[in-house]
Amino acid sequence: MTYDFDKIIDRTGSGDIKHADLLRDFGRTDLIPLWIADMEWETPSFITDALKLRMEHSLFGYTKTPANYWACISKWIRDHHQWEVREDWICYIPGIVKGIGMAIYALTKETDKIIVQPPIYHPFYLTPRGCKRTVVWNPLKEIVKDGKLVGYDMDFEQLEQVCDEDCRILILANPHNPVGITWPEETLRRLAHFAATHNLIVISDEIHCDMALFGHKHIPFASVSEEAANCSITFSAPSKTFNIAGIVSSWAVVPNDDLRQKFYGWMAACELNEEHLFAPIATMAAFEHGESWRKEMLAYLEGNINFVIDYCHEHIPQINPIRPQASYLMWLDCRALNLNHKQLLDLFINHAHLALNDGEMFGIEGRGCMRMNVGCPRSMLRQAMRQLEEAIRSVKSEE
């Protein structure tokens, strides 16, 4: 390996939320933080060098978009996901959650409804709610084999039942957060057909798309059919893959002319489509120089995921980790511990001294599950798993 993913980075002084909000969100600070979705690896030098180079010039005035910014994004998508994206289909957005909010304001009215499929990344329902839109729930179907949860699927029969004529947008996580699914082409095509026949816009959030694992492949929603291209807004970014979430650098792709004019027109009116100075620099550095880092990072990540699965299998059989098909978030089914919600949080926080995301924040369907961020040095993960094993032993022996 060329890059050192074992290196522990001290984030003190960086103001990172993962540490800064421990007290606010978990009530104590002596926790290994494995929650909010950024990684513990330093931003690679091909990105920091590009930023530093620009910093050497001491004037940061209004700055023109680099001529090859859109071409660079379009090439990355073509090379990695075999999707031909016209440069004029792409537009900068100041963050994906903000993009979801802007699309809701630009394209729906207050009486319209937004469909989400829990367990799901919580802003998918919080943002529509905050925009005063009604959220319609279409929970994923659990796939159970030999009595064990092994994954989830989209529930089309239920979708047909919950979707009414006020539903205007369906928000899709592709790949899925928190359960790490790279959706199969057939599922995406079926969803596109459903959307086309029900007058729905599909917002496909593809922020985790460059981290497919274990031979799985990301398929862009808009690429699967004409129907998909016509009803979709795709959002993506290099922020998760290259660990640069703080350098807000995301974009939308809208192939359909009417939808694009409506959405991009709204954003342009407020100049929300204008990227800040550092976004193209970081993005282009990542895409032009980051491929070998990305591949090494994913190989290390697969090692981390295997480590957690093996550890649970050998030492904590009450926890069933679902192997993600993409990204660094692992869904742990803890229901065999037979703890209620309060007891489960108490186990992780006060006994194991770990900060994970509570499954219920992704919808009630996540009850009894926890989301663990494994984008960190293996030694950190090893320590976390030991603490968890010990905590479970002590809690269970008190029963």
User: In this structure, what token pair is assigned to residue 357?
Assistant: 């995301």
Residue nearer to ligand PLP on the CB measure, 128 or 312: 128
Please, which residue, 330 or 339, has the CB nearer to ligand PLP? 330
CB of 96 to ligand PLP, least distance (A): 4
Task: Supply the minimum distance, in Å, between the C-beta of residue 351 and ligand PLP.
Answer: 27
Q: 119 preceded by cis ω (within 30°)?
A: yes
Question: Per CB under 6 A, does 121 bind ligand PLP?
Answer: yes
Q: Which stretch binds ligand PLP (CB under 6 A): 91-99, 252-260, 262-270, 313-321?
A: 91-99
Nearest approach in angstroms of CB 237 to ligand PLP is 6
Among 39, 114, 173, 332, contact with ligand PLP (rule: CB under 6 A) = 173
What sections of 56-136 are H helices per DSSP? 69-81, 96-107, 123-130
CA–CA separation, 98 and 33 (whole Å)? 25
Interacting stretch for ligand PLP, rule CB under 6 A, among 76-84, 90-98, 252-260, 273-281? 90-98
**Residue 91 binding ligand PLP, by CB under 6 A:** no
Query: Which region, judged by CB under 6 A, interacts with ligand PLP, from 75-83, 89-97, 159-167, 290-298?
Result: 89-97
Site for ligand PLP in 214-273 (CB under 6 A): 237, 239, 245, 250
Among 74, 108, 177, 325, binds ligand PLP (CB under 6 A): 177
Measured between alpha carbons, how far is 263 from 290 in angstroms, rounded to an integer? 31
In the complex with ligand PLP, the residue whose CB is nearer, 209 or 316, is 209
* DSSP output for 281-305: HHHHHHHHH-HHHHHHHHHHHHHHH
Looking at the Cβ atoms of 353 and 371, the one nearer to ligand PLP is 371
Cα–Cα distances in Å, from 130 out to 190, 358, 376, 389?
A: 30, 21, 32, 39
With both helix axes pointing from N to C terminus, report the angle between 278-289 and 45-55 in degrees, rounded to the nearest 10: 140
27: exposed, middle or buried (Cβ count in 10 Å: 0-12, 13-18, 19+): exposed
If the CB atoms of residues 204 and 230 are measured against ligand PLP, the closer one turns out to be 204
CA distance 70 to 73: 5
What is the DSSP code string of 183-214?
--HHHHHHHHHHHHHTT-EEEEE-TTGGGB-T
Candidates 205, 227, 333, 360; binder of ligand PLP (CB under 6 A) is 205
Q: Which of 21, 66, 75, 95 binds ligand PLP (CB under 6 A)?
A: 95
Least separation in angstroms between residue 66's CB and ligand PLP is 21
Of 22, 31, 37, 91, which one interacts with ligand PLP (CB under 6 A)? Answer: 37
Choose one: 15-23, 48-56, 94-102, 291-299; the region binding ligand PLP (CB under 6 A). 94-102
Helix (H) or strand (E) holding 161: helix 156-162
| Residues 91, 273, 124: CA angle, nearest 5 degrees | 80
The number of residues that bind ligand PLP (CB under 6 A) is 13
Write out the binding residues for ligand PLP, residues 318-377 only, by CB under 6 A.
none
One-character DSSP codes across 332-361: EE-GGG---HHHHHHIIIIIS-EE-EEGGG
With binding defined as CB under 6 A, does residue 210 bind ligand PLP?
no
| Buried/exposed 237-270: b ≥16 CB within 10 Å, e otherwise | bbbbbbbbbebbbbbbbbbbeebbeebbebbeee
In the complex, the smallest distance separating the C-beta of residue 285 from ligand PLP, rounded to whole angstroms, is: 18
Nearest approach, Cβ of residue 85 and ligand PLP (Å): 19
The backbone region for 109, taken as left when phi is positive above 0, alpha when psi lies in -120 to 50, beta otherwise, is beta
Residue from 31, 34, 50, 97 binding ligand PLP (CB under 6 A):
97
Q: Name the site residues for ligand PLP (rule: CB under 6 A).
A: 37, 95-97, 121, 173, 177, 205, 207, 237, 239, 245, 250
